[in-house]
Amino acid sequence: MNNSLDYLAYPIIVSNHRQSTNFRKKLDIGHYISHKNRIQIVKPAVDTKPPVAYTHHILKLSKVQGEQKKIDKIKYENKQLCQKIANAHRGPARVDCWNEYFSKSLNREIRNRDLLRITVENQGILKRLGDRKPYYDRRSSEVDWQNSRRYIRNTTKYLLS
């Protein structure tokens, strides 16, 4: 290492006369020694700590507040129901389900007039049907039926009852 040509910062192919100086050699050796010392001082370390847990990730206050509001509302409604039940047991019996709803139809009068008109028409048709004379003669139908029964008796082998 005494010879300046033994040490080159770059290979001989790409080097020139300025890269083979003693000063450059001293700088490189100094950097190498400091690097070696730093590597010897370094100790291996593995971070085994759990990750940092932020409270706003774990405890969501808006969700807790919403649940508390729901619970408060349920408690209030339960209290109201208990009071109503207690009042019902204490007081006299009363009916509290009166159906006072009257139908408020806008075309009620028109429907009543139509119903009345249809009823009158139906009564007129019934009267005309009652006044009408029968079209078929009952006596001639009876004679025809007796004749057909006689023909059937004459043509069948077994008697009909």
Distance (Å, rounded) from C-alpha 144 to C-alpha 152? 12
DSSP H or E run through 62: helix 61-90
Predicted pLDDT at 29: 87
Predicted pLDDT at 6: 53
Distance (Å, rounded) from C-alpha 155 to C-alpha 27? 144
Predicted pLDDT at 27: 78
Predicted pLDDT at 59: 84
Predicted pLDDT at 5: 47
Burial class (CB in 10 A: 0-12, 13-18, 19+), 16: exposed
User: Helix (H, G, I), strand (E, B), or coil: what is residue 118?
Assistant: helix
Chunked into runs of 10 residues, the chain (161 residues) has average pLDDT values of 50 57 77 92 86 86 93 97 88 74 83 96 95 84 92 76 57
7, 20 in Cβ contact below 8 A? yes
How far apart, in Å, are the Cα atoms of 139 and each of 7, 142, 149, 158?
150, 5, 16, 29
